[in-house]
Structure 1
Amino acid sequence: MSWFQRIKKVRLWPKAFYFALAAISLIGFLDLAFPPPLAKANQISQVVLDHRGQPLRAFPLEDGRWRLKADLDIVDPAFIDALLAYEDERFYQHIGVDFRAILRASLNLVKAGEIVSGGSTITMQTARLLEPKQRTFGAKIQQAIRALQLESRLSKREILELYLTLAPYGGNIEGLRSASWAYLGREPNSLTPDEIALLIALPQSPEARRPDLKPESAIKARARVLRRLVEKDVIAEDRALEAMQTAAPKRRDFPAFAWQATEEARRRAPHMQPDIYTFLDFQLQTRLETMARDVVEELDDRAQMSAIVVDIRTRNVLASVGSARRDRAGGWLDLTNRYRSPGSTLKPFIYAMAFDEGLAAPSTHISDLPKRFKSYQPENFDRTFRGDVTIAQALQHSLNVPAVHALEAIGPSRFAASLAFAGAAPRLPNRADSDAGLALALGGVGLTVRDLAVLYAALGGDGIAHSLNWIEGESASAVSEGQTRFLTSQASRKVLEILKSAPMPDGRMPTVLTRDAPQIAFKTGTSYGFRDAWAAGVSNGLAIVVWVGRADGAPRSGATGREVALPILFDAFDIATLTLRRSNGGLNVGEEMTGVDPFTLANFERDKQPPEILFPPDNSEIWQDKKDRGFTLSARGDGELTWYAQGQKILANRFGDSIWTPTEEGFYLLEVVDKSGLSSASTVRITQHAQ
């Protein structure tokens, strides 16, 4: 090489360097100017879950599509292994485009004269889902470029989760989790070979293989996937053959429990947060919903009810029933958040404030005789007067004149301000003289079920008021910022002791009392014209409020809080005590802050074990081939065992067997209790197939 040629070659290096630098800069500029359209990845269906992660309700997108965000932590690893073996074996090795797979697909095309295998990676398929285009060569090139962009921005895990979020599964179903709920009725955390193969086959041709509309095509496609997985040693041949015999699944409903409570949780959560964890307890919520439906069936056809259960220590909402039935008037409303006249349910707080002011004590005598307070002359509910009574007797029998007399001494405006300060601001009549008056003592204002829950939780929490917590992220403890000293501890405890000794309705007391549980400190209320029937109570670390009435506020003749709402309150405490005792390992819900003895089991023995359920096992799915088909429940335990389905006792037949006959499809809570009060539970799903 001559000297001149060497100089010329050296001078070419800066040009090549600058050319490469310019090319890289151009690519970088184009990448920034035209980023991959990731906005779709944030358009996710929201799922509201209970405190253990059990889904309560899923919400579709505005266009009606179900697109649940995928999470590899709740996906069966066997599915991921099978998916990658079938779709993209080198997913973790390539850069978004697998040139080896493209070469192999091209050679197969030349040899066979038709497409035998594709060269698209999961990253390229994700790019196509983000930016759908007709399948042309140009579109393939664009997908490859987008795949490279995705690989530069996201981790492999994020790309795989994005693919499993957007993959189509037929109709309005998008994503693995959506498909698993739509076709299998559960999360994809534990899948059988037939389910794995079906969920891999569907995205390839979702409309032609929909198992609910075209089961034959779905079964054939599933079989092809299974044979391929056998070839790749992912699934054993005998298991694949067995999986091929399984019928195609039907379309199922998405979870739809706690209808109004999940709306409230969604309102409180950050915008478009995919999974919203609440403090609700799935088993308690579903059992209360079942009880509410049964209750209103025995009332007139326009009656509704609502109820709320609060953990006093944390102020977490453990269950909230906004309405009993959505097929009745007002059923779509959240009646826990509608202002109603609280009747006599505020009387305990009037007397508690009187105790705090040193105006009275439980043994203080007060007159229950006709009395006019300026232009206001109250009467007792039974229109009789009892003369000289103690404050304790006046509260236990819900006498009106003494309560108004006590409120006059405190000052109605001051009392109303105290309620507002505690977080339960009363809605005053909409008129010019809207200052709180003495009618406040008898329910002459508007409060909600939630407001009363705040007040009664404060009564059970040593007088500390705190807002209710619905979702994780809100304050999880009553002893935190935001707490308010509403009543003194001494006044709260005095009122609770009085309410615990209130007379029970004839022939009715909570079942938990028969198991040496503490009494319930309860108060009932009935609004003017029998429009609202109330019962509120504190016991066992819980505050529960029940309302019964019509959504339109119309009267229900003779429907009092004592006769209508109080039995429901007792049932609610029974359900809550039994359910939460089991889920908390036999312990109380929270630390008792009122001096009321915590719940204890009868005949407690340290080494005693609860019954063991043999059938049906927990989290199982049972096929009921006939609607009248019964199932024999089986458990191993100490002595005689009693079974309950959704809180309803199952009577044993003459042979001593407990036969359970589900009436419809859906989730059920079965519970077995031994003679010592120890219990175990099993959640099952009933599936019915038409003959």
Structure 2
Amino acid sequence: MRILKTLFSRKMLLRGWLPLTLAGAGLLAWFIHDSISELDYRMIEQRSRVLYARDGAVLGYSLSSDNDSYRFYTKEEEVSPLYLKMLLASEDRNFYQHSGVDFLSLVRALSDNVASGRITSGGSTLAMQVVKRLTGHKRTYVNKLKEIVQAIYITRKFGRKQVLEWYLTLAPFGGNVEGVKAASLRWFNHLPDKMTPAEAALLTALPRAPEHIRPDRNYQAAVYYINDVLKSAYNRGVLDNDLWRATLEDDIPVRLHAINQEARTLATYVFQNHPGTDIETWVDPKVQKILHNEARNFHEIHQDGAVLSAVVLDAATHRITGILGSSDLRISQMCLPFARRSPGSALKPFAYALAFQNGRLHPGTILHDNSRIYGYWKPSNFTNLFTGKITAARALTMSLNLPAIEVLELTGPSYFVNAVNRGQKRLFLKDNTADYSVILGSGSISLMDLTELYAMLNEDGVMEHYALLRDEAGEPAYRMLSRESARAVFNILKTARRPPNGIHMTEVSYKTGTSGKFVDALALGSMDNYTVGVAIRFPGNRAGYYQYSGFQDAAPALFSIFNGLKTLGTETMVKDDIESELLRDAVPEALREIVEEKKVIDKKTLRIDFPASGDTILPDGSGLVFIRHSGGSGKVYFTVNNEQTEQNYFKPEHEGYYSVSILDDEGRSDRVTFKVVLDEESDNGNEAPPEN
């Protein structure tokens, strides 16, 4: 007792033990601080950027910025519960009990290592495996001590859920594949929320020795480790006996899969314009599949450098549910729906709507399709023909240029441009100068903005914000057009001529457009809650060997997409009945005809009364098709498929589309295109000739 008192006397402590204690404490503090300072979180920060569809499917991605790895952040709830149970049973049984380090497992591992004379077992917890990834430590006893400190630190600081998600994100799975989500997509070609027991076992085993266990390089080793994990899962009650035995016979993958990149152009656009590593969108994979199928169909027919792009908007949710950025990434990797291009004639409906709204025009008002000179500019129609007097409704469905300019005169180009740009600038003009050519496509606008304008018509004049990103703040809606004027234009466009694959789709309200030199061909329209915009473009602004047009090429793609959307189910847009003279056939006397002295008014309009454009007809009993016309003066000449005749009839030699033009002595003309079938059951024929 006297000896102990002597040893622990204050004097002896001050002389010996206390300095040693303080020195040890200081050394320990330094070691802890040094260990913690080694943690480098850049692997997490520099992970892949991923663009997700609304159901969690990967639309596009970038590789990690540090070493070009597939490193997708993986959340606990995104992973199969079976995999998590198997992982913890095999790698960290006490994960939810210890503070980052399982000291019993460490003692057991140390005993095994001493017995074997080398490091054979690490006893590492998931937290310790995470810090090893963050630090890049090699296997030494000193580093193991550091990992103990680091594992306790990150568990205390960030919590077990974060530690687990970091493991799910950083664990190596062979080659440049890191993290469970990327591994599941690369090895199994599906997301990790649903895994078979064999798949879960493979992803549990791979991080132990990724290059050695890779099934594409060492199949036997992969089988051995999978069976080892399955046995452990059975012994610890994760699998019952029958499932364990059955799983032993399951196939395992022998190659890596490519991860979907069909929406790569959209991903690139979003990454460039929005911050954040992982970005969730409202894009519907089922809608995307329809668009990509249409892209493949397009390139099976056309291989001349043109690309197809498309947008799908859903008025039921006010979300962008589909975007086809570029149908061929070899030609263009731009997300073309966001690029500004010429709209051709696609803006004409909004000039008519503004004139309706201002009380200057009625759908039945007579307009004048006559050649006129505007300064040094002499516009013409797409067909280079003129029809004389024509109602506003028919002029719009036929997309005639001269009547559209006449309508624009009622409000003025500047008023038109300001109305289109209300809320945000959509339409861009050369030198910021508005003139009459804007209605024929001299300005530029993106397909996305143009499609939203057509969605506004579908919503009776209310401009809504259509969201692409899930966390996107919605902008307030506003009224761009009166209900009456928007509904009048919408109804008129429902009567527009259909392409062959859309003849029976009378519910679609749509318009086409073709830019100068056939560089851009567009079609936009609405069916129930969907509004779709389609563009066929030469990205380099060069004219194609084949002349694309809105009606001939873009319209069939539009209706094909609508047919696909029908299979998903559409929500009927319930629209209230509107009482308005714009929606009645009777034309107010003051709006019966646009008359100005400076205009040339044709009193003898030449018109083909039968057949009408878009008709499908049978020849009479003699096998002849008769053309009935009215108006004109002097002798009338007939042209059937570019062959001129003085007879008002012809005998079709084959089924298909026929184009008939008439011309009188004073230069008046009209043209129709219709389909002739020789048998009532037949519905085959040639493609319709191009129209605007």
TM range (shorter): 0.7 to 0.9
- Give the corresponding residue for 2:552: 563
CA contact (8 A) 1:69 1:175 kept: yes
- Residues 374-413 of structure 1 deviation map (CA, whole Å, 9 limit, x = unaligned): 3322212222222222211211211111111121232212
2:479 is aligned, of 469, 481, 485, to 485
Stretch deviating more after TM superposition (73-82 or 203-212): 73-82
Which blocks of at least 5 consecutive residues in structure 2 are unaligned? 579-692
> CA 1:26–1:133 in structure 2 vs 1: closer, same or farther (change >3 Å)?
closer
- Give the corresponding residue for 2:312: 309
1:446 is aligned, of 440, 444, 447, to 444
- Give the corresponding residue for 1:428: 429
Shift of 1:167: 0.9
- Residues 541-590 of structure 1 deviation map (CA, whole Å, 9 limit, x = unaligned): 22111111322222245422111111111111111222244xxxxx44xx
CA contact (8 A) 1:97 1:147 kept: yes
In structure 2, C-alpha distance between the alignment counterparts of 1:103 and 1:300, rounded to whole Å = 67
Shift of 1:32: 11
CA contact (8 A) 2:36 2:153 kept: no
Shift of 1:114: 5.7
Shift of 1:164: 1.8
Q: Counterpart of 2:481 in structure 1: which amino acid?
A: L
Q: Does 1:87 align with 2:88?
A: no
| Greater Rg by CA | 2
Shift of 1:187: 1.7
1:281 is aligned, of 264, 277, 284, to 284
- Give the corresponding residue for 1:201: 205
- Give the corresponding residue for 2:456: 458
CA contact (8 A) 2:405 2:436 kept: yes
In structure 2, C-alpha distance between the alignment counterparts of 1:244 and 1:534, rounded to whole Å = 56
- Give the corresponding residue for 1:37: 40
Counterparts of 1:585-604 in structure 2, within 5 Å, are: 587-588=571-572, 591-592=573-574
- Give the corresponding residue for 1:133: 137
> CA 1:519–1:230 in structure 2 vs 1: closer, same or farther (change >3 Å)?
closer
CA contact (8 A) 1:309 1:317 kept: yes
Counterparts of 1:179-328 in structure 2, within 5 Å, are: 179-249=183-253, 250-272=255-277, 274=278, 276-327=279-330
Count of residue correspondences: 571
- Residues 247-296 of structure 1 deviation map (CA, whole Å, 9 limit, x = unaligned): 43021111223222233343454322x3x221111011112111122023
Which blocks of at least 5 consecutive residues in structure 1 are unaligned? 582-586, 597-691
In structure 2, C-alpha distance between the alignment counterparts of 1:181 and 1:438, rounded to whole Å = 54
Stretch deviating more after TM superposition (45-54 or 490-499): 45-54
Shift of 1:132: 0.8
Secondary structure of the residue aligned to 1:388 is: strand
Shift of 1:455: 1.2
- Give the corresponding residue for 1:509: 502
Q: Does 1:144 align with 2:148?
A: yes
CA contact (8 A) 1:305 1:324 kept: yes
- Residues 177-236 of structure 1 deviation map (CA, whole Å, 9 limit, x = unaligned): 111111011122222222122111111110111122222222222223333333444334
Secondary structure of the residue aligned to 2:502 is: coil
> CA 1:106–1:529 in structure 2 vs 1: closer, same or farther (change >3 Å)?
closer
> CA 1:572–1:578 in structure 2 vs 1: closer, same or farther (change >3 Å)?
same
Secondary structure of the residue aligned to 2:524 is: strand
In structure 2, C-alpha distance between the alignment counterparts of 1:313 and 1:595, rounded to whole Å = 19
- Give the corresponding residue for 1:664: none
> CA 1:41–1:510 in structure 2 vs 1: closer, same or farther (change >3 Å)?
farther
Percent same amino acid among aligned pairs?
31
> CA 1:239–1:40 in structure 2 vs 1: closer, same or farther (change >3 Å)?
same
- Give the corresponding residue for 1:636: none
- Give the corresponding residue for 2:363: 362
CA contact (8 A) 2:401 2:440 kept: yes
Stretch deviating more after TM superposition (405-414 or 348-357): 405-414
In structure 2, C-alpha distance between the alignment counterparts of 1:25 and 1:463, rounded to whole Å = 74
TM-score (norm 2): 0.76
Secondary structure of the residue aligned to 1:547 is: strand
Shift of 1:11: 10
> CA 1:13–1:189 in structure 2 vs 1: closer, same or farther (change >3 Å)?
farther
- Give the corresponding residue for 2:562: 573
Q: Does 1:537 align with 2:535?
A: no
Q: Counterpart of 1:257 in structure 2: which amino acid?
A: E
In structure 2, C-alpha distance between the alignment counterparts of 1:343 and 1:17, rounded to whole Å = 88
Q: Counterpart of 1:189 in structure 2: which amino acid?
A: D
In structure 1, C-alpha distance between the alignment counterparts of 2:387 and 2:57, rounded to whole Å = 53
Secondary structure of the residue aligned to 1:326 is: coil
In structure 2, C-alpha distance between the alignment counterparts of 1:311 and 1:233, rounded to whole Å = 48
- Give the corresponding residue for 1:414: 415
Shift of 1:537: 0.7
In structure 2, C-alpha distance between the alignment counterparts of 1:343 and 1:16, rounded to whole Å = 89
In structure 2, C-alpha distance between the alignment counterparts of 1:57 and 1:33, rounded to whole Å = 35
- Residues 106-153 of structure 1 deviation map (CA, whole Å, 9 limit, x = unaligned): 333445556564322222111111101221121111111211211221
In structure 2, C-alpha distance between the alignment counterparts of 1:371 and 1:224, rounded to whole Å = 86
Secondary structure of the residue aligned to 1:421 is: coil
2:126 is aligned, of 122, 128, 136, to 122
- Give the corresponding residue for 1:49: 52
> CA 1:251–1:288 in structure 2 vs 1: closer, same or farther (change >3 Å)?
same
Shift of 1:16: 8.1
Secondary structure of the residue aligned to 2:340 is: coil
In structure 1, C-alpha distance between the alignment counterparts of 2:346 and 2:11, rounded to whole Å = 95
In structure 1, C-alpha distance between the alignment counterparts of 2:41 and 2:401, rounded to whole Å = 64
Secondary structure of the residue aligned to 2:287 is: helix
Secondary structure of the residue aligned to 1:207 is: helix
CA contact (8 A) 1:520 1:539 kept: yes
Q: Counterpart of 1:66 in structure 2: which amino acid?
A: Y
In structure 1, C-alpha distance between the alignment counterparts of 2:5 and 2:302, rounded to whole Å = 104
